[in-house]
Structure 1
Amino acid sequence: MEDDKFFLPHEIIFSILKRLPVKSLLRFRCVCKDWNDLFKTSLFIKEYLHHSSHHRGPSLLLQWDYSIFGMLDSDKKTFLPLRAPSVNQPAYMIDIIGSSYGLVCLQIKVGGSLFLWNPATREVQYVPRSKNTRWYQICHIGFGFSRVVNDYKIVRTYYYLKRVEVEVYSLSTGSWKQLEFGNLLEGVSLHGRFAATDEAIYWFAYLNDIVILSFDMATEAITLIPAGPNIHWNVKLMAYENKLALLSGMKLWVMEETTSGGFGQRWNKTKLILNLPSVHSMTIWKNEVIYKCEPVGLYLFNLTTNKLKFLIPWEYGRLMSAFNYVESLVSIGKKNSWTSS
C-alpha cells in the first residue's frame, strides 16, 4: 500500500516525459526497460515531435564560416556552440543544406556526399549515392518532411540535355529514385536556395520569365507557379507560418492557396518590414526575421510589432546560414549510421 502513494498512471508519465529535452530522455533510457522501449515507439516519437514543434517552439541552428555550429534556444536567452557532426571530415568541409522537424541534411563540400544528422541524439547517417552516373553534375538540393506521408525526403535536381532532371531520396525506403516529368521541365533552369513547408519544396526557376518550381513531397508532382508581382533575383524564398513567402525589399508577400489541391496566383502583401542596405535577411524564425549585420551581429525584426532588436554579437566569424530547428527522437536508421563522438 505504501508504494501506491507514488504510483502515476502511464498517461501522466507519458505526458511528462514528452516535455523533457532529448538529452534528459537519453539519460532516462537506463531508468527502466519500459521507458527505454517507450522512447523507441512511433507514437512517443510522433507525440514528442508534435509537442516540440508546437509548444516548445523552434531553436535557431546557425553555421559560422563552415567551421562552427551553434544553437540559440527558443527563449532567445542562451547561445551554445554545437559539436559538429562526425562525418570523417573537418567541420569547415561541411555545409548545411536544410533543417526539417528534427533532422538536418548536410553536404560535404568536396565530392558532394550527403548525410542526415539528428543534433539532439547525435546520430549521423550517410546517404548513399544514387546509381545515376550524372551525380557529379552541378545540382540544386532540397530537404523537407511531409506530414501527409510521414517521411523525410531529399530532392536533387540537375540540368541535363536542356531540361531539369529530378531524383528523390526517401528516408523510409533508404533509396533514391528517378522521376519522369516528360517535357514539363524542358528549358527550365533553377536558381538560388530552396524553401520548404510541410507540403512542398520550392525553388526560383526561369522559363521565359521568373517562376517558382514547386515539388509536392507527398505526391512527388511538380508545378510551375507564377512568381508574383515585381519579382527579381534578389528576392528571397522563405517559409512563413508554413506558407511560401517572398521577402522583397520592404515587402513580405505570402502565397495563399485559393483552390483545393492547387495554388492560385494570389499573393498577399502582409507586412512592410525593415529596409536597411547594411543588413541581410537570413530566415524567418517564428514571427521574426533574422538579419545579419557584419561585423556587428544578429538582429530580430518582429513582424507584429515592427520593432528591431539586437540578438547576439558577432563573435564567431562570418555567419553562413540560419535554420529553424526543433528537437526530436526521430531515428535515422542503423544502417550506415553511428553516433557522433
Structure 2
Amino acid sequence: MEDEMTAPETRYVPHELVTQILLRLPVESLVRFTCVCKTWQDTITGESFQREHLGFQEPCVLIAPQIGGGDSLKVTTPGLYRWEKSQCAATLVQAMDSLPAVEANRRHNLAHCDGLVLVVSRDDTVWVLNPATHQALSLPQSYSTLIPPRYPFLGAFGLGHNPRSNTYKVARIYYHSVDTRGTGGCRFTFRAEVFIIGRDQHWRQTTTPPPYPIIARRTATFFKGSLLWTIDESIMRVGGDVAVRGFLRFNLTDESFSITPAPPGCPDLGYSTFNLAEMCGELYLAHEGPKEEGSFRCRSVSIWACNDVDGSNPPRWVRRHVINVPHCIHLIATSKEGILFQDGSYNIMCSDRQSIEGVRHVATMHDLTYHHPDSNTYVNYPKEIVYSYDLIPYVPSMLPV
C-alpha cells in the first residue's frame, strides 16, 4: 500500500545534456524555449552558446527578388527568402517591402556574416537584420562630408566579425571629396568609417584613410577577420598606369589597410568579370578566362582559392576549377557536390566534373514558388517583372543585433 501511494521519482537530466540538445535545435525553437525557465534563457542567450550553435546549423541560400516598379529604373525588394537545394519552394524569413524603391544603378549588394544580413537603402541608411529572430537594427546616419550631389553614390559597405573582441563591425568606405581642377581628370579623396554593433552610438572615422579607391556599391567579402573590397582600376588609371592590382584588405582588429594581390592569372579585375566569396574557410575567386576570337564572350571561367590573406607573404592562390560558361558567375557556396553559383540573372547551377560542360542545372529562380509562412500563401515571381535576384549564403543564428 505504501509503494502505491509513493509519488513517481522525478528523473534528473544534467544541464550539460540539455545544452547539447538545445545546440542541435533550429532558431525558431530556441526563441520559444527562452520562455521555459531562466536557466534555459541564460543558456540560449549566452555568447558562447550562440557561437557554438552556429556550427550545428545547415547552410542555405537567401534569395532577394528585385522587382521592377512602374518606373523601370527603380526596383523594390519584397523580402528575403530562405531556400535549400532539396526544396522547390523558398520561405519568406524577412519582409522588406517597407523599404523604398531604389534606382537600379544605385542598388547596393547584400552582405552576410554569421546569420546577420547587411542591407543598404536608397538614402544610404544601413540596416543589420537577423532574419531568423526577426530582429532589425537601423544604424544612425553618417554626418561625414560627402562629395557634391551631382556625383553618383560612390561608397561601399562591409559586415564582419572581429574575433579578438567578439564583436561585429560595419565598415563604410566613401569618396570624401573630389578635385576637378587637375589636368588628369577628377581626383578623389577617400575615408572610412566603422560602427560596432551593440557598442557604438554613431559612426567613427578610422585613424588611417583607405589608400586606394574601391568599386562602388559592392559589399566587401568577409574572410578570417578582414573585409576585402576590389580596388577600382578605372580610377587608378586616371593620370597613369595602374600601380597596384588586387583587393583592399581592412583588418577588423587593428583597423589597418593592406593589399591582397589577385591570382597571377587574373590580369584585369573589372567589375563585371570577377566574383569573390568566402566558402568553407577558404577565399574563392571566379574570373573570366580568355575571350573568344572576335567576340566579347569568354570561353570559360577559372575558379581560384587560397586559405590565408594575413601576414606579409602574398596569398598562395591555386586554380581549383575551370567551368565552361560564356560569362562570369556569382559564387554562392561549396559542398561535397561541388560549387553552387548563380549563372546569369535567373539560374542556380552547380559545378559537375562528370558533365561535358562541367556544370549542371539546379534551379531557375523565377520557376520556384515563394511561401509566406504567416499567411500560408504562395507567390511566383515571373521573369517579366523581375529585374534580377540577389543571392547570398546564409546560416540561421541566434546572434542579437
Q: Which amino acid aligns with 1:282?
A: H
Shift of 1:95: 5.7
Whether contact under 8 Å (1:201, 1:216) holds in the other structure is yes
| Match of residue 283 from structure 1 | 331
**Which of 265, 276, 281 does residue 242 from structure 1 map onto?**
281
Q: Is the 8 A contact 1:168 1:178 kept in 2?
A: yes
Q: CA deviation at 1:328?
A: 1.0
Provide TM-score, normalisation by structure 2: 0.71
Q: Which runs of 5+ in 2 are unaligned?
A: 1-6, 67-76, 178-187, 237-241, 289-300, 367-380
In the other structure, the counterpart of 1:2 is 8
User: How do 1:223-302 residues align onto structure 2 when only pairs under 5 Å count?
Assistant: 223-229=258-264, 230-232=266-268, 233=270, 234-249=273-288, 250-257=301-308, 261-277=310-326, 280-287=328-335, 288-293=339-344, 297-302=347-352
Tell me whether 1:190 sits opposite 2:214 in the alignment.
Answer: yes
TM-superposed deviation, 1:197: 1.1
Q: Which position in structure 2 is the counterpart of 1:218?
A: 253
Larger-Rg structure: 2
Cα shift at 1:198: 2.7
Partner Cα separation in structure 2 for residue 204 and residue 16 of structure 1: 42
Higher strand share: 1
Question: What letter matches 2:279 in structure 1?
Answer: Y
CA distance 1:95–1:235, shift in 2 (3 Å)? closer
Cα RMSD between the aligned structures? 2.9
Q: 1:42 aligns with which of 19, 39, 47?
A: 47
Deviation at 1:299, TM superposition (A): 1.4
Conserved? CA contact 1:257–1:264, under 8 Å = no
Query: Could you say what secondary structure the match of 1:121 adopts?
Result: coil
1:98 aligned residue (94, 98, 111): 111
> Structure 1: which amino acid aligns with 2:142?
S
- Tell me by how many angstroms 1:309 deviates: 3.0
Tell me the TM-score normalized by structure 1.
0.82
Equivalent residue, structure 2, for 1:125: 137
In the other structure, the counterpart of 1:322 is: 391
| 122-131 or 171-180, which deviates more | 171-180
Provide the rounded CA distance (Å) in 2 between the counterparts of 1:304 and 1:120. Answer: 36
CA distance in structure 1 between the aligned counterparts of 2:132 and 2:47, rounded to whole angstroms: 17
Per-residue Cα deviation, 1:144-169 (whole angstroms, up to 9, x for no partner): 22333211111111123433211111
Aligned to 1:84: 94
User: What CA deviation, in whole Å up to 9, does each residue of 1:107-155 have, x standing for no partner?
Assistant: 112x111111000000111111233233985211111223332111111
CA–CA distance in structure 1, aligned partners of residues 172 and 354 of structure 2:
36
Number of aligned residues: 318
- In terms of mean alpha carbon deviation, does 59-68 or 79-88 score higher? 79-88
CA displacement 1:161-206 (0-9 Å, x = unmatched): 4332111111142232101326x71xx2212522221321111114
Distance change >3 Å, CA 78–CA 36, structure 1 → 2: farther
Partner of 2:94, secondary structure, is coil
1 CA distance for matches of 2:392 and 2:363? 16
Partner of 2:62: 61
1:181–1:90 CA distance, 2 compared to 1 (3 A):
closer
In 2, the alpha carbon distance for the partners of 1:313 and 1:19 equals 31
In the TM superposition, residue 318 of structure 1 has moved relative to its aligned partner by: 4.5
Distance in 1, matches of 2:10 and 2:213, equals 67
Q: Matched residues, percent identical?
A: 22
Which segments of 5 or more consecutive residues in structure 1 lack a partner in the other structure? 333-341
Q: Larger deviation: 95-104 or 121-130?
A: 95-104
Distance 1:264 1:76, change over 3 A: farther
- Matching residue of 2:160: 144
Matched, 1:116 2:128: yes
